[in-house]
Chain A
Amino acid sequence: MQVGYYPGCSLESTAKEFDLSIRAIFQEMEISLKEIPDWNCCGASPAHYLNEELAMALPYRNLVKAEEAGLDQVVSPCPACYSHLKHVHEEVIEDSHLSERLQTIVGKGYQKGVASKHFLDFLKEDIGLERLKESLKSSLNQLKVVSYYGCLTRLPGVKLDDLENPVIMDQIVEAIGGEPLDWSYKTECCGASLSVSRTEIALRLVRSILEAAQEKGAECIAVVCPLCQSNLDARQSDINKKYGTSYKIPILYLSQLIGLAQKLDYTQLGLDRLIINPRDLLVGKGILEK
């Protein structure tokens, strides 16, 4: 089975472990990923904020490149990349004027034949939980996990799950032998790029998320977004300094948790790249050998 892949800029740098772990677990399930050739940035929030046409033309070029490469399905791990591809695909189907305009800007026409998938719905709908379970060689040994979705379910174009009480990640955690904990901070905001420009706002938001996770007794937080991961992981020491707290909660990509249940190698999954080191937790739970 082959599927298109749109990693996006963060997965080349701050979220390298998201890329590594996705490639590793897909290989384990005999799914080969074919990157969109010469893909460009989706424009993320800055294009969306500053220039409406640019925000649509950048993903439009990626759709054209995917189509040229014969890809009819593209998986994006990053929620922003995914939302932008899917939203533009839907908008050009709805609005022929926009479709023509984007074709003029990009210089090539998109024939509207690329289905965008997020890593989560590809896993659940296309691979299926049964096939996922068949690939497992181990279990998460009832590791207590809260799943954090951020704004993923509400982004334009996304119809993944219930908007404010999604369960798709929790179902996957359960399928790989973890104990999903219910909590009310699943879809709260992490502050996104305010973490760079208005850091104090992001610290306040992330602190409340960490606090809620700890109150629930979570041993780690599972995420599927590079920005969520970065804000929750890299800002814990700033939060502890500012608020006198002592959070040390590992923030793992769901793909890394899956890889652990497939008994894949620690560094192959990029677990050594996380800022809050998860090793002691994983060894303690018997998920990882010493």
Chain B
Amino acid sequence: MSYLNSLDIHQFRNRILSISGEDVSKCIQCGKCTAGCPISPEMDVQPNQVLRMIQVNDQDTLLRCSTIWICASCQTCSVRCPEEIDIAKIMDSLRKLALEAKIPLGEEKVVKFDEIFLESIRKRGRVHELELVMKYNLALRRPFKDAQLGPVMFSRGKLRILGHKIKEVGKIKEIFRDSKRLFKP
């Protein structure tokens, strides 16, 4: 079932247009975005297919796909698009729409990492890298993943045991409380 009312087949395309400012109807399906995408071998929907699916209102596939989460935002697609469509920006919009739809996400592992990362900022104002990686691997029930790296990183002085907490951490909490997922409705 669609999370948006899809009686209007342009509704999804228009929503993307309004929040990202990007018009997917300009896409000529040249495939340059996919050809240059470093992550395309692991993607379940290729970047050029993402644009086509927006055109044909296939929001169900898009909001559930893994692609939007493993896109590394390297911007190669945006830079190379002959129609100057900012595809990376469209990926950003799709991620937020997927979160808004409250449906099972295509790549829970990646989202979990982002959530724990933000929680670290909310609590301290800065990211504590050691805590971030440990909490993440615990949350995924694989506490020993990359454990071999721990002693090496410690021996090089790359891991701080205690994180730094900024003075105005209360202000950071307020910023978190007051920020909305999407700037434009």
Q: A residues within 8 Å of B by Cβ?
A: 9-10, 12-16, 38-41, 43-54, 56-58, 61, 98, 101, 104-107, 150-151, 154-156, 163-164, 187-189, 191-194, 196-199, 201, 204-205, 234, 237, 272-275
A-B contact list, 25 entries, CB within 8 Å: A12-B164, A13-B130, A13-B160, A14-B158, A14-B159, A38-B125, A38-B166, A38-B167, A49-B95, A50-B99, A51-B180, A52-B183, A54-B175, A56-B183, A57-B179, A106-B175, A150-B74, A196-B146, A197-B136, A199-B145, A201-B70, A205-B38, A237-B148, A273-B158, A275-B152
Q: A38-B125, A192-B73, A205-B38 are in contact. List 4 more A-B contacts (CB 8 A).
A: A16-B158, A46-B113, A51-B181, A196-B133
Chain A residues, Cβ within 8 Å of B72 = 151, 189, 191-192, 194
Distance in Å: Cβ of A227 to nearest Cβ of chain B: 10
Interface residue from A12, A38, A163 paired with B168 (Cβ < 8 Å): A38
Supposing A154-B79, A272-B156 touch, asked if A41 and B180 sit within 8 A by C-beta, the answer is no
Query: How far apart sit A237 and B152, CA to CA, in the bound complex (Å)?
Result: 11
Chain A CB within 8 A of B7 CB: no
Are B175 and A105 closer than 8 Å at their CB atoms? yes
Are A57 and B180 closer than 8 Å at their CB atoms? no
Among B8-16, B26-34, B47-55, B115-123, the stretch that binds chain A is B115-123
Report which residue of A9, A57, A272 has the largest number of chain B beta carbons within 10 angstroms of its beta carbon: A9
Chain A residues, Cβ within 8 Å of B164 = 12
Q: Which 8 A-B pairs have the closest CB atoms?
A: A46-B114, A53-B179, A154-B75, A54-B179, A46-B117, A189-B74, A189-B38, A9-B127
Nearest chain B residue, comparing its CB with the CB of A187: B76
Chain B residues, Cβ within 8 Å of A237 = 148
Interface residue from A40, A53, A106, A198 paired with B42 (Cβ < 8 Å): A198
Supposing A14-B129, A154-B78, A194-B72 touch, asked if A50 and B115 sit within 8 A by C-beta, the answer is yes
Interface residue from A14, A98, A151, A198 paired with B183 (Cβ < 8 Å): A98
Chain A CB within 8 A of B58 CB: no
Are B168 and A41 closer than 8 Å at their CB atoms? no
The size bracket of the interface on B is 35 or more
Chain A residues, Cβ within 8 Å of B112 = 197
Are B109 and A53 closer than 8 Å at their CB atoms? no
Query: How far apart sit A39 and B172, CA to CA, in the bound complex (Å)?
Result: 11
Distance in Å: Cβ of B158 to nearest Cβ of chain A: 5
Query: How far apart sit A52 and B96, CA to CA, in the bound complex (Å)?
Result: 8
Interface residue from B39, B42, B111 paired with A189 (Cβ < 8 Å): B39
Chain B residues, Cβ within 8 Å of A275 = 152-153, 156
Distance in Å: Cβ of B63 to nearest Cβ of chain A: 14
Supposing A52-B181, A53-B180 touch, asked if A45 and B73 sit within 8 A by C-beta, the answer is yes
Chain A CB within 8 A of B1 CB: no
Are A155 and B75 closer than 8 Å at their CB atoms? yes
Are A53 and B79 closer than 8 Å at their CB atoms? no
Query: How far apart sit A31 and B128, CA to CA, in the bound complex (Å)?
Result: 29
Query: How far apart sit A20 and B69, CA to CA, in the bound complex (Å)?
Result: 34
Distance in Å: Cβ of B141 to nearest Cβ of chain A: 14
Are B157 and A52 closer than 8 Å at their CB atoms? no
Query: How far apart sit A166 and B6, CA to CA, in the bound complex (Å)?
Result: 45
Supposing A189-B74, A193-B113 touch, asked if A40 and B125 sit within 8 A by C-beta, the answer is yes
Chain B residues, Cβ within 8 Å of A201 = 39, 42, 70
Query: How far apart sit A277 and B73, CA to CA, in the bound complex (Å)?
Result: 31
Are B179 and A105 closer than 8 Å at their CB atoms? yes
Nearest chain B residue, comparing its CB with the CB of A235: B149
Query: How far apart sit A98 and B121, CA to CA, in the bound complex (Å)?
Result: 22
Chain A residues, Cβ within 8 Å of B78 = 154
Chain A residues, Cβ within 8 Å of B96 = 50, 52
Supposing A14-B153, A47-B118, A52-B96 touch, asked if A61 and B171 sit within 8 A by C-beta, the answer is yes
Chain A residues, Cβ within 8 Å of B95 = 49-50
Query: How far apart sit A273 and B153, CA to CA, in the bound complex (Å)?
Result: 8
Are A41 and B121 closer than 8 Å at their CB atoms? yes
Distance in Å: Cβ of A98 to nearest Cβ of chain B: 7
Query: How far apart sit A154 and B76, CA to CA, in the bound complex (Å)?
Result: 7
Are B179 and A13 closer than 8 Å at their CB atoms? no
